Amino acid sequence: MHIRRYVYPNGHIAIKNFKVKFSGNAFLKGKTGSGKSTLLRMLNGLIPKFYSGKLDGKIRVFGKEPNRKDVFFISQNPEEQITCMNVRDEIAFPLVQRGLSVSDARKNAEEIANEIGISHLLDRDVFHISTGELQLVEIATALASQSKLIVLDEPFAHLSKKNALRIVRILKDFNCVCGEHRLEFEEYFDITINLGIECKGYPEIHVEKEETDKMIEISEIIGFDLRKHELVAITGDNGSGKTMMLKRIALEMKKKGMSFSIVLQHPSYHLTEDKVEREVKDRFLKDFELNNISNKHPQSLSIGQMRRVAIAKAFNTEILLLDEPTAGQDYDFRNKLIYLLRKYKKTAIIATHDETLIQKCDRVIKIDDYNNK
């Protein structure tokens, strides 16, 4: 891959003077907006065939022009990859498109599902499973596709560590390029390509917790109370019901007439204005590093940037319910989020798989244990 210059259709230069040779399985890291997704999309020809723009350079995959037959690409949002109603058919879909009979394709899909450990999902509808489970299904789709190279854009963003490690081990047997922010998995890959990682380091802020009698009684149903300025992490395996729990807490708090904000995994649900500066209050723009994009339309940003805008918007209230806030965020922001929550003395319940984030929270609720109670 030798790119002298790639210019987006809107005239913005995305990549300049970049040269790399991928082999085996490669790990691609870089801060949000560094061009990881753009690079990955070049490998199967999505750029410039699908997204256009001006590409000056040369890309060869197994000695050929980038093409979708040899390279299978999975984007970072699994819900946007859905093509069938049922999990079994979803995994079989690319094989059927390659000319395999439906029964053979389904058989292959079942084998891959067994290998990944999602055979229990095979008969379920894709829209009834969690985002993490859907991510696993889409990875299974890629593995079943019989492509020579698999390109994954943030495949571990929604996965629990256990599931992510299982995928990493399976990927060892495939040629793959994996763009990812969760650096804990870097060591499992043959080579690493760094597009620039920033790690500023943030001071630890200690916020005085209120006395136990000043608690937010969020629920008799949910079964736990929240102290003022407390950061609570909800963890659990994929499909354990973290998002569901967060939604139940939100409904409970609404019933009690409390003011709070909830940020779901899909950030575009929250963005309704035509400029970032209209979504986010001025004082949060700088803290969330949104100054440079304050004039842009929120829906035109990358998923990571959109999520940042959605979280910054939620900072208007004191209590925040955040669902996977660090998914798709770079290493620096993952550390910064806790710093900002402490700085603005927020109270938050965070559903997450991110172990760095979990460690910095005041309290951890494991949803698997909670469900067993």
**Residues forming the site for other proteins (CB under 8 A):** 44, 46, 50, 68-69, 72-75, 77, 79-86, 89, 92-94, 96-99, 102, 105, 125, 127, 141, 145, 210, 214-217, 225-226, 228, 247, 250, 254, 256-262, 264, 266, 268-272, 278-279, 281, 299, 313, 316-319, 344, 347
CA–CA separation, 118 and 335 (whole Å) = 32
| CB-nearer residue toward other proteins: 56 or 80 | 80
The answer to whether residues 263 and 270 touch, using CB atoms and an 8 Å cutoff, is yes
CA–CA separation, 229 and 210 (whole Å) = 8
Cα Rg, the chain, nearest whole Å:
21
Strand partners, 296: none
| CB-nearer residue toward other proteins: 62 or 198 | 62
| CB-nearer residue toward other proteins: 193 or 262 | 262
The answer to whether residues 239 and 133 touch, using CB atoms and an 8 Å cutoff, is yes
Strand partners, 233: 350, 364
Residue 10 C-beta: closest distance to other proteins, Å: 14
Residue 14 C-beta: closest distance to other proteins, Å: 16
The answer to whether residues 249 and 219 touch, using CB atoms and an 8 Å cutoff, is yes
Classified as helix, coil or strand, 200 is: coil
| CB-nearer residue toward other proteins: 12 or 127 | 127
Residue 233 C-beta: closest distance to other proteins, Å: 17
| CB-nearer residue toward other proteins: 204 or 213 | 213
| CB-nearer residue toward other proteins: 2 or 98 | 98
**C-alpha atoms less than 13 angstroms from C-alpha of 248 in its C-beta half-sphere:** 12
Residue 78 C-beta: closest distance to other proteins, Å: 10
Residue 50 C-beta: closest distance to other proteins, Å: 6
Residue 194 C-beta: closest distance to other proteins, Å: 25
CA–CA separation, 334 and 315 (whole Å) = 16
Backbone angles phi, psi at 136, to 5 degrees: -65, -40
Q: Find, among 151, 184, 192, the residue nearest to 165 by Cα.
A: 184
Residue 42 C-beta: closest distance to other proteins, Å: 13
| CB-nearer residue toward other proteins: 65 or 368 | 65
Residue 22 C-beta: closest distance to other proteins, Å: 18
Structure-block tokens of residue 342: 């402490």
Strand partners, 150: 72, 176
Say how many Å lie between the first and final Cα of the chain, rounded: 53
Residue 164 C-beta: closest distance to other proteins, Å: 21
| CB-nearer residue toward other proteins: 248 or 366 | 248
CA–CA separation, 191 and 122 (whole Å) = 34
Residue with tokens 């690319």: 94
Q: Count CB neighbours of 171 within 10 A.
A: 21
| CB-nearer residue toward other proteins: 93 or 288 | 93
CA–CA separation, 80 and 66 (whole Å) = 22
CA–CA separation, 154 and 265 (whole Å) = 14
